[in-house]
Amino acid sequence: MATTTLDSEAYLPESPSQTAGPYVHIGLIPRQAGFDIFENNLGTEPMAGAGVKGERIRIEGRIFDGAGGLVRDALVEVWQADANGRYPHLADTQEGAPADPAFRHWGRAGTDFETGLWFLETVKPGAVIGRHGHKRMAPHVSLWIVARGINLGLSTRLYFADEEAANAADPVLNIIDPPERRRTLLARRDTTRTGGAAAYVLDIRLQGPDETVFFDS
């Protein structure tokens, strides 16, 4: 059988990277993009179903570019534990009750084109045991952000500013240096809301002196 030797000089050049354009919204949050093309909305239904355990909350914020302008076409995907700090995953080997079946542990939202605001209705997560039984992590929500102008999705976290003791002991927050940058991950509780779920607000800055801390995926 004949074989072919690949000549390194004949390799095709690498394709250029592309940023996320409008099709990511059509494919991942179609109804918000104006397309009712799927039976469900692929993660933008309520995360907290009927009978869910824990405090219902709303997480929200805006995303700013390096010049301080609103990023109006971003998509935010979130993952989090339930109110007891449990995930419906084989890697979650904590003792006690299993993950809450009334809670979906992930969701998606897009920024509003006019206001730049994104939000999700969820529950406040519990503290989570680290991998392999390592130190307990403070309640947090993992965020993944894509938009035009971003070549690779950005990963960060939302912590709750009113969980001071848990945040002070969190092993991830404690590796962020200088320490003052940790505040870029702390969502403040909005005490001006009346009625409905409590709101936690975190604005994300992609560049600049108050740049949000991002993590390797």
Tell me, yes or no, whether 91 lies in a domain: yes
Let me know: does 110 contact 55? Beta carbons within 8 Å. Answer: no
- pLDDT value at position 133? 60
Tell me, yes or no, whether 129 lies in a domain: yes
pLDDT category at 171 given cuts 50, 70, 90 is very high
Let me know: does 185 contact 173? Beta carbons within 8 Å. Answer: yes
Tell me, yes or no, whether 77 lies in a domain: yes
- pLDDT value at position 117? 96
What CATH number has the domain bearing residue 111?
2.60.130.10
Q: What is the mean pLDDT of the chain?
A: 85
- pLDDT value at position 195? 77
Tell me, yes or no, whether 211 lies in a domain: no
Query: Structural domain tally of the chain?
Result: 1
| Highest mean pLDDT: which range of 22-31, 143-152, 170-179 | 170-179
Given CA atoms 39, 45, 50, 52 in this order, what sign does their dihedral have? positive
pLDDT of 78-91, one tens digit each? 999 999 998 987 66
Q: How far is residue 108's CA from residue 105's CA, in Å, rounded to a whole number?
A: 11
Residues near 55 by beta carbon (within 8 Å), at least 6 away in sequence: 83, 123, 124, 198
Tell me, yes or no, whether 121 lies in a domain: yes
- pLDDT value at position 145? 95
Q: Is 189 helix (H, G, I), strand (E, B) or coil?
A: strand
CA 188 to chain centre: 16
- pLDDT value at position 180? 96
State the DSSP code for 186: E
Tell me, yes or no, whether 11 lies in a domain: no
Determine the residue type at 46.
P
Can you give the pTM of this predicted structure?
Answer: 0.83
CA 178 to chain centre: 23
Domain assignment of residue 81, given as a range: 18-205
Let me know: does 37 contact 29? Beta carbons within 8 Å. Answer: no
pLDDT of 92-124, one tens digit each? 667 667 899 999 999 999 999 899 999 999 999
More confident residue, 176 or 35: 176
Q: How far is residue 160's CA from residue 191's CA, in Å, rounded to a whole number?
A: 14
pLDDT category at 162 given cuts 50, 70, 90 is very high
Tell me, yes or no, whether 190 lies in a domain: yes
- pLDDT value at position 1? 45
